[in-house]
Amino acid sequence: MRHLLLLCLLFTACTAPPTKPVGKTLILPTPLGLPRLRVPADNPPTAETVALGKQLFESKLLSVDNSLACANCHNPQLAFTDQQPVSTGVRGQKGKRNAPTILNAAYNADQFWDGRARTLEDQASGPMMNSLEMGHSLEGVEQAINGNAEMMSLFRTAYGPRVKVTVNLMAKAIASYERTIVSGNSPFDKYVYGKQMDALSPAARRGMGVFTDAARGNCAVCHTIEETYALFSDQKFHNLGVGLNPAGELTDLGKEQGKFRTPILRNVALTAPYMHDGSLKTLKDVVDFYVGGGNANPYLDKEIKALSHLTKQEREDLVTFLESLTGDLPK
């Protein structure tokens, strides 16, 4: 029994308790049209962790040559995108995919276009160690933060004076900040959920009819609208044939046979260019792409059908409806 007690004491001494924020847990905003966010039990947001996460998000210390921050590819002034087909990483290297907006990313069931990260916490550290993005090592980025007095002061304020700064803790703070980057209360929300009948223009209302009508646009089959909220995403993965080379072969296989995550359409008018490879410049281009039925390939999603029956007016109205999904942006 004495030996067992000694082993338990040794184990307790060698096993650090999980790091928890020291501040009061925040109640996250829920704008009109959005559901309440689920927050991991081991990462409750506080004013201090959110402030720390924002500083980390904007810090170039996270890149190996101090040239890039998360905010370079997810610029708050550009609806948290960089408005480029693909982003530029350290040493001028071009990435392979379009940088998706951080707006409402907290609602994604999976992160990245191919869903390789389950949570915001999982996602946040990925770019730091990606050779085409920030190009750091785990040890290198931890040393950079531990060696910065301003950052260490913020960590101690958020997690206490004896905090041990790790990449995992950085990712938690960034995720807490990103959970405050939500946007709703769009003209669509005011019309549908706020019952403000003048919130949508006649063209936008016609476009919503095209969007939701299975016989016309059928867009809502993947970009779903619920009775009390709308994420405009089924949180699934679909093959549209985007990324075919001239030989008709998929150059980017994504999750499975060229499938990529259905993006949330909120604020879509602000986040051009479109698709996972940034290949479509405008919303009109996106509508025209679907009018053509996507790009044929053996794995094309069964829901993708040519919309050539849509009139010119219906296509224009559909774009107008998509523009009505622009909501209040975080300050």
Say whether both 241 and 135 belong to one domain. Answer: no
Q: Does the structure show a pLDDT above 60 at 46?
A: yes
Say whether both 72 and 204 belong to one domain. Answer: no
Residue 331 lies in a domain: no
pLDDT of amino acid 250: 72
| Segment 128-134 mean pLDDT | 95
Say whether both 162 and 232 belong to one domain. Answer: no
- Reference 155, options 112, 201, 126, 147; nearest CA is 147
| CA dihedral over 142, 148, 154, 159, signed as positive or negative | positive
Residue with tokens 């990712």: 171
pLDDT of amino acid 15: 38
| Segment 308-315 mean pLDDT | 98
Residue % of the chain over a pLDDT of 90: 87
For 96-128, what is each residue's pLDDT tens digit? 899 999 999 999 999 999 999 999 999 999 999
Mean model confidence pLDDT for the chain: 92
| Segment 160-176 mean pLDDT | 97
CATH code of residue 269: 1.10.760.10
Residue 150's contacts (CB-CB under 8 Å, 6 or more residues apart) are none
What is the residue range of 94's domain?
Answer: 16-178
Residue 265 lies in a domain: yes
**Of residues 137 and 253, more confidently modeled:** 137
Whether 311 contacts 321, CB under 8 Å: no
pLDDT of amino acid 3: 45
pLDDT of amino acid 253: 66
For 139-162, what is each residue's pLDDT tens digit? 999 999 999 999 999 999 999 999
Residue 151, classed as helix, strand or coil, is helix
In angstroms, the CA 225 to CA 263 distance is 13
- Reference 143, options 68, 86, 61; nearest CA is 61
Say whether both 205 and 172 belong to one domain. Answer: no
Q: Does the structure show a pLDDT above 90 at 25?
A: yes
Say whether both 226 and 159 belong to one domain. Answer: no
Say whether both 136 and 250 belong to one domain. Answer: no
Residue 41's contacts (CB-CB under 8 Å, 6 or more residues apart) are none
Residue 3 lies in a domain: no
pTM metric for this prediction? 0.92
pLDDT of amino acid 248: 67
Whether 105 contacts 120, CB under 8 Å: yes
Q: Does the structure show a pLDDT above 60 at 12?
A: no
Q: Does the structure show a pLDDT above 50 at 190?
A: yes
For 238-277, what is each residue's pLDDT tens digit? 999 998 877 666 777 666 788 999 999 999 999 999 999 9
- Residue where a domain stops, chosen among 135, 160, 178: 178
- Residue where a domain stops, chosen among 152, 178, 204: 178
Total domains in the chain come to 2
In angstroms, the CA 86 to CA 88 distance is 7
Residue 80 lies in a domain: yes
- Residue where a domain stops, chosen among 137, 157, 178: 178
pLDDT of amino acid 252: 73
Say whether both 78 and 129 belong to one domain. Answer: yes
Token digits of residue 88: 């530029």
Residue 143 lies in a domain: yes
Contacts of the segment 207-210: beta carbons below 8 A, 24+ positions apart: 207/314, 207/317, 207/318, 207/319, 207/320, 207/321, 207/322, 207/324, 208/321, 208/324, 210/310, 210/314, 210/317, 210/318, 210/321
For 226-242, what is each residue's pLDDT tens digit? 999 999 999 999 999 99
Residue 206's contacts (CB-CB under 8 Å, 6 or more residues apart) are 313, 314, 317, 320, 321
